[in-house]
Structures are given as C-alpha cells and as structure tokens.
Chain A
Amino acid sequence: MLKYFYEQMKQTVEEKLQQKPNAWLMYIGQLASTLLKAYDKDAKVVWTTYYSFPMELLAAFDVVPFDFEISCNLLTGPDPKSCVDIMTKSEARGYSVDICSFQRLALGCHFLDYFPKADLFLTTSHFCDGKTKTNQILAQYYGKEAVMLDVPNELSKESVAYVSGQLQNIAKKLEEVSGQKLDYDRLRECVRASNRARAAYGRLAEVQKSKPFPWDGFRVCNLSIIGNMFSGSPFQERLYQKLTEECQQRLAEGRVSPEDFRVLWLAWVPVQPTNINDILRQNKVSIVMSELARVYWDEIDEKKPFEGMALRCLKNPYVGTIEQRLSGVLQLAEEYDVNGAIHFSSTACRHANAAVRVIGDALEKKGIPLLELDGDMSDQRCYSPDRTKSLLETFVGLMASRK
C-alpha cells in the first residue's frame, strides 16, 4: 500500500512539474523518489529519523535513508481514515492509545507488511522517548541491529566527545551495511553541501520576515521537519534557493495574502487534514515562522565533521533544559514581530508539551499571548474541528484586543 502511494505521489508530482514547475513540487517529488528507492531489491536501507539524525553522515554512503515515522504519516493527509484503521492493528496487539499516533501508525504498517526491508536501524535519543523505543522494537521484529545516538541533555566538551565518538562508530556500521569504506573527501563534500544549504536557508528565513508573509506557514513547518532529510545533498541548497526566489517574486508581484496578525508556530504540525489553515486565513492570520525552522546550529567544520555534527545535535532546541528551547522561541518572536504564538500540543508529545507553561509565561512577559492548541498529529479520532475553531477564533480575538 505505501509503495503504491509513493508511486502515485511521484507520478502526480512529475505530471504537475511538467505543467508548472515549482519548488514545493520539486521537494515532494524528491521525497517520494527517496522513499521509493527503499523498495529497490538491491538498495541498502537504513531506517532513521529524518528530523533529528545528522543526515550528512548517511549522505556520505550509498544507502537509502528511510524514516518509519515520516514515511507512513505522509499517508495521513490524503487518507486519514485508512491510517486510523492501520493504527488499530497495533492497538489490537496491545500498543496503548496513550503512545504517539506516529508510533502506532508505524507499528501498524509493520504488522501489515507495508514497509520496505531494513538493513540497519539508526535513531537518536532526541526528540522523544516514543520514537527511540519504536526503533528498538521494530529492529527486534526485523532481526536487525538497532543503534541509538545518545544525545545528552547538556553541552560540554565531554558531551561533544561522547556524541562525536558514537557518530564515528555509526560510520563503521554504515561501512558494514554499505560495503564501502568511509570516504572522508565525500563526507567533507556532504558537510560543505549542508553548510551551503544552511546559508541558503538563512536567506529564505530573512525573506520570510517580510510583511505580509510571502509563503505558506504550514509548509515552513513541514519543511523544517522533513527537509532535514536532504542535509548533505546538493538538492537541499537548490530547494532553498528556489523557494527564496519564489517568495521574492510573490512579494514583487504583490501575490500575498492579507495579513492582520503574525503568529509563531511552536512544536509539531498536524499531518492529518484539519481546518486550522482555513480558519487562520479567514481571520487574516499568517504563520510566519516555526520554532523548528530556526537555524540553531553553526556551520559544521569540515575539518572536524563528526564534532560538527555532534554540536548540531546537542544544540537542537529540543535537547537540554527548557532554556535552550525558550531562548530560540523568544528570539524568533522578536525577529518575526509576531502578535501571538500557537503551540500545537499533539496528545502524546510529552517532550514538547510537558513544560509549555514555562514558555507561555515567558512569552506573556513580552506581551505575546500563547495558545495551546490540543489535537493529534495524525489520529483523526483525537481531533475536534469545532473545538479548534472555537479556540482559534477566541485567540484571534485576544490578539486583536492587544494590538
């Protein structure tokens, strides 16, 4: 089912690209192609986490990165009902509805044999407990090794050395899986590509500060999560350049939506269809930035690639104490001149939700209201359009009263 879905996705995108090429279609097409490659008989498939693993390292090998969470949750948008049916397959085997719907969907896809083969399971300890546990359990079912990049909660020379050492060991695992020796020149080129993409993204982030906001806020959020899968490949830089050009063109031509309120998005975005975007547009609210889209890491030193990748992991806003996350949120709120912030609290996202009060109080001190919007990223059963409408409209009223 998943393979067929990716084939359809790829075909549709290719047809549309022939009619009217644009950056977003390029991105979706590349995503579908990568996921499809995982089904090739001779592919060396490394299951990993697109949004947190340092993908530059995987790009230095001829392996196909496959993310069990992202891959199946792409289906949630076009077919949320089928996804609920798939989740129930894991629930029927004892997986609690209190664990994340991303994990339940992935386990369900496994039980239904929708996934490609796996040669190695790689993940990181950030962002959440659920993902690392599912990675280990799936590895058990597949009879393959599960490796977890353990990213500590503190930044010090010891933690950099600890993470860097693990990455070097992971490189050895990738050598075994791919049958290739690590080519340091290739790794350095991947690092350079990642650094160029970082700079290109910085330019895009600057354009996003324009008033009115020249793009689609949900796509910013989506890209900040899945876009990391291309770190280390030249495609990522091209993508950001193209997106920037399109934003500049829209601004030049005045093709932008009317904007009364600017909002910073916090935590994840729902991948299931929701009424959020429609309500925001009706009320002239732009999502101008996502906290996950912030460039929080420094350029990776190509002479010390493992250390640089370790630093990127350790500086992630979801690593460390809440101050690490909060400082980024406050910085973005100021830079993007927002009227409010929305924290999408997906039911089981405890790493993101648990201490949201601290963020809300800090924003409030700056006069910025925070809406904690409950829902679920992909489980249709845990999303209420009416409640969402009511919360969002009340929030718009609050922002209006403070303007």
Chain B
Amino acid sequence: MNEAERVGWLCSYVPEEVIMAAGLLPVRVSGGGGTVGTADAYLYPNVCPFVKSVMALGLNGQTKDMSGLVFTRSCDGMRRLYDVWKAYVPTRFVYMLEVPKNRDGAAVAYFATQLRRFATVLGQEFGREITDRSLNQAIEAANQARRLMQGMYQTQRTIPLPFSGSEVFQLGLEGMGMAKDAFVKKLKEYRLPTANQTSGKGKDGKARILVMGNVVDRPDLFNLIENGGADVVAADLCTAMRHFDYLVEEDAEEPYLALARGYLNRPGCARMTGVEERLADMMKLAKDYAVDGVVYTSVKFCDQHLSDAPYFAEKLKEAGIPILFLENDYTWSTIGQLKTRVEAFIEMLDAGRR
C-alpha cells in the first residue's frame, strides 16, 4: 500500500472512508483563502471565490502531488468547477460524485448506489479492490477521529473554555489533511476536562459566539472575535463541526448504505433541502452551547447561504439571539472593515448581558 498517494476532495459530503478503503490518503483541497489568480480567465467573474481559488491552485500546478480529485454537485459553482477543471487542468483521476439534495430513504438508497460506483471506479483506477471489510475498517477509523473531535466540541460547552475556538477549529482543519491514525494520535494528546469540570456554570465575562456559514478555512474570523473579547464556542461550518459532528454505523452489513445514511442525515449544509431542519439545528446549537450571539458568514456569490441568511436572521431575532451577517471574499481581505463590525457586535452583546 502506498500511503503517499493522495486523493483530494472538495466537499465535506465526499465520504473519505471510500478513499481510505482503497488504501489512499484523502485530503481536503481548499484554496486556503488564496487569491483567484488566473482562474478568472476560466470561470465567470461572479462565481464564488472559493471555487476560483481552487481552480487557481490547479492552474498553478499546486495540486500536482495529488493522484486524483473528487468533486460533488455541492452547488452550481462547484459542479461547473468540475467541468472547467476537467477541460483545463490535466489530472490523473477526476471524479464527479453525485450527492442527493434530499435526505429521505430514497435519497439514501440512491446515494449508496453512487458510492458503490465511486468505489468501483476508484478501485479500478488505482488497482485496488475495495471490500466491505476494508470499508468497515475505514468507517471505524473515521468514526474514531469524529468521536475525539466531538469530545473537543463538548468541552466548548464549558465556562471558561479549556481551548480557544480558533485552536479547535485549526485542529479540525489539520485533521482533514492527514491520515486518520496520525490525527487520532494527535487528538489523544489533548487532555480534555473531566465530566465534573465540564459542568461548570456561571459567566466568565465573555460573550459566547456561534460562527456559522460556508467554507472558512483560515482562522481570521475566529481571531477577530477572540481578540475582540468574545469566545467562539461552536462553528457550524463544513470545515468544522458539520464535518465531524455525526457518526456512521459501524460493522454494517451494507456499509455503502451506512455511509449514505450517515452523510445525508448529518447536520446539513445549505445545499440540502430543508430550511426548517437547518434552522432547528442552528437553534439547538445555540441552546446547547449557551450562545449569546451568532456570526453568520458567507463567501460572496454563494446563492445557498446568501439566501438563507436573511430568513435565519429573522428567526434568530424572534428568538432573542442577536446575529451579525458578514459577507467575505474568501481571502478575508476586508478584515480591517470587518473588525469594526465584529467589535461593535461584541460590545452590543456585552451590554445586553450586563
């Protein structure tokens, strides 16, 4: 088995387990908040800057160390990125994985067929057979990492926080680019507070903030909030809790079905149907993590998140939870302007809690 062979994935709905079961290393590919470079020549200007920065990586040859790349129908921009990538960035293995937008039994069954097909094509390309046994082992390994990350998230319910929100966020990001056993080893090095310690109550004077939105893969916003005197206690992002806060059934007789069920029924991205389910997930997070306010951020030109934001803001307001909406350009180049708004928001939260 050649562990150095890396296969990139672009959306958190790509089950890493299938790639792992082929003896390959799944790694998240992100533009890292980088600029779009020459991608504007290939993609329409009003496409999300995340998509364009990924294209820029490909054009600049920064993905050459990867043997393959897996796309999904995450959104209009992402599915067209697949088209453009395939046409202009020579890559050994490029795959479009179909991920349903519904979550019901029919969608789960259909997704399972797509995962099986993906496994077959991937296995054929790399000359490795993916068995139910190897897939179940991969599920177990991925779950182990998820459980440990969930343990980290649990600690964020305590007051004061044992780890900063930015630290937990960075840890999760790091885990998306390394082998699961190495990630598990790293997570185990953290000494989590005991159950007694995690039941602490009372205010430590800091506002507790839920960050939510789409792709954030730099700590700028977290740092801004923390430097402004508040804590990020939860992050409903595909680069944070949404990626880890669920489990896939282990030792399943039909592991593809188990994967499909696990991935489609986890806390959803705005791409999935069910605005009301997503709203309920958000309200639950706000309650579980004793949130004082929400910072909702979206990269520019993301139809899914930009459309949800005003409706969620209305509902949060009705629930008495203040919200700050921040549109970002993925490179966080406007961080100076955002600083003023974030600080004002924290001040407002502090004033409300006095």
The interface of chain A, by Cβ under 8 A from chain B, is 93-96, 98-100, 103, 125, 128-130, 132-134, 136-137, 140, 146, 148, 150, 152-154, 156, 158-159, 161-162, 165-166, 169, 321-322, 345, 347-348, 350-351, 353-358, 361
B interface vs A, CB < 8 Å? 41-44, 46-47, 51, 73, 75-77, 79-84, 86-87, 96, 98, 100-102, 106-107, 109-110, 113-114, 270-271, 273-276, 300-301, 303-304, 306-311, 313-314, 325, 327
In the complex where A130-B307, A159-B110 touch, is A96 in contact with B82 (Cβ < 8 A)? no
Contacts of A345 in B (CB 8 A): 44
Closest partner residue, chain A, to B46 (CB atom) = A347
When distances are taken between beta carbons in the complex, the residues of chain B under 8 Å from A98 are 46, 300-301, 306
A-B contact pairs, 10 of them (CB 8 A): A94-B309, A98-B300, A130-B303, A137-B307, A159-B98, A162-B110, A166-B106, A350-B44, A354-B80, A357-B41
Q: How far is the CA of A103 from the CA of B46 in the complex (A)?
A: 16
A309 to B310, CA, bound (A): 35
* A322 pairs with B80, CB closer than 8 A: yes
A-B contact count (CB 8 A): 141
Asked if B310 and A128 sit within 8 Å, CB to CB, the answer is: no
Q: A93: which B residues are within 8 A, CB to CB? A: 310, 314
Among A129, A136, A165, A321, max chain B CB count under 10 A is at: A129
Distance, CA A95 to CA B41, complexed state (A): 28
Chain B residues within 8 Å of A165, by CB: 106
Q: Is the CB of A350 within 8 A of B98?
A: no
Question: Nearest chain-B residue to A125 (Cβ)?
Answer: B101
Chain B residues with Cβ below 8 Å from A361 are 87
The answer to whether A350 and B77 touch across the interface, beta carbons within 8 angstroms, is: yes
Asked if B310 and A94 sit within 8 Å, CB to CB, the answer is: yes
CA distance A134 to B306 in the complex (A): 11
B102 touches A153 (CB 8 A): no
- Contact of A355 with B83 at beta-carbon distance under 8 Å, contacts A130-B303, A152-B110, A158-B110 already known: yes
Apart from A129-B76, A152-B100, A162-B100, what are 17 other A-B pairs with CB-CB below 8 Å? A129-B303, A132-B101, A152-B110, A153-B73, A153-B96, A156-B113, A159-B110, A322-B80, A322-B87, A347-B46, A350-B303, A351-B79, A354-B77, A355-B43, A355-B84, A358-B83, A358-B84
CB distance A150 to B273 under 8 Å?
yes
A134 CB to closest chain B CB (Å) equals: 6
**Which B residue's beta carbon lies closest to that of A151?**
B101
A133/B76 in contact, CB under 8 A: no
